[in-house]
Amino acid sequence: MTPPTIRRRRTRTAKLVVTGPFDAGKTTLIGTITDSTVLSTERTVTHAGDQGSERTTVAMDFGRLGVDPDMALFLFGTPGQERFGFMWNILAEGMLGFVLVVDAARPDSITEAAQLRRRFTESNQVPHVIAINKVAEDDDHAEVLARVRAELEVGRDVPVLIADARDREDVRQVLLAFLRHVLEQVRSGADVDREAGEVG
Ligand SMILES: Nc1nc2c(ncn2[C@@H]2O[C@H](COP(=O)(O)OP(=O)(O)OP(=O)(O)O)[C@@H](O)[C@H]2O)c(=O)[nH]1
Ligand SMILES: [Mg+2]
């Protein structure tokens, strides 16, 4: 088979990292919004004492999302398991910012998300938004939002949204909130560092 011709497109690109605790829905979110998730490095894991097995990301997810003819977002999903944490720094290099996915159904996920957020923002002021996933239909949304905000100790300036990672419109709203947040930071003169990316 003839390899495809490489064209150097003049598209502006930005790198967005999708991170969060184990099993929160990162791979799902990228798969929902990108036309095709170009790369997914999932492997089957079996937990000790657990009958079932599930898929987990061991290196990264990658997907491309065209925003308009001149701009594209490159979405990089991190592994959720701490043992693959060596990938976080590699993936964070040069990112414009990140989406932190939190699993509302698992209290540990919120605690882990708080730690991750500290690590991703420790050395730089990095634009980010929080996407709360797996919220039950009968949950009180205002209460969930307030609880996650308090546990993650996020300021008013950081957008926090409830989003179903399987729902394209929900994920679109998360990315729009992120892009608006970046614009606000740029307008307010904050030092948005395109080379942000040291994970502590
Ligand atoms: N109910 C519900 N389940 C979801 C949602 N998003 C993802 N899931 C399920 O949650 C599980 C984990 O989703 P993944 O997208 O693989 O999560 P991940 O964060 O990439 O997981 P790791 O790579 O292992 O850290 C899968 O079984 C998904 O089908 C959601 O919005 N609601
Ligand atoms: Mg994954």
Per-residue pLDDT tens for 92-145?
999 999 999 999 999 999 999 999 999 888 877 899 999 999 999 999 999 999
What one-letter code names the amino acid at 161? L
Confidence of residue 52 (pLDDT cuts 50, 70, 90): very low
Confidence of residue 20 (pLDDT cuts 50, 70, 90): very high
CATH number for the segment(s) 12-187: 3.40.50.300
Does any ligand 1 atom lie closer than 6 A to the CB of residue 134?
Answer: yes
* Structural contact between residues 142 and 6, judged by C-beta atoms closer than 8 angstroms: no
Averaged confidence pLDDT in the chain: 87
Burial class of 67 by CB neighbour count within 10 A (0 to 12, 13 to 18, 19+): middle
Does any ligand 1 atom lie closer than 6 A to the CB of residue 133?
Answer: yes
Tell me the CA–centroid distance for residue 89 and ligand 2, in Å: 17
Does any ligand 1 atom lie closer than 6 A to the CB of residue 24?
Answer: yes
**Least distant ligand from the CA of 133:** 1
**This prediction's pTM:** 0.89
Does any ligand 1 atom lie closer than 6 A to the CB of residue 166?
Answer: yes
**Which of 18, 26, 28, 101 best tests ligand 1's pocket when mutated (most atoms within 8 Å of CB)?**
28
Tell me the CA–centroid distance for residue 25 and ligand 2, in Å: 7
Question: Domain extents for the chain?
Answer: 12-187
Does any ligand 1 atom lie closer than 6 A to the CB of residue 196?
Answer: no
Measured distance CA(90)–CA(125) in Å, rounded:
18
Q: Is the per-residue pLDDT at 164 higher than 60?
A: yes
Q: Secondary structure of 154-177 in the HEC alphabet?
A: CCCCCCEEECCCCCHHHHHHHHHH
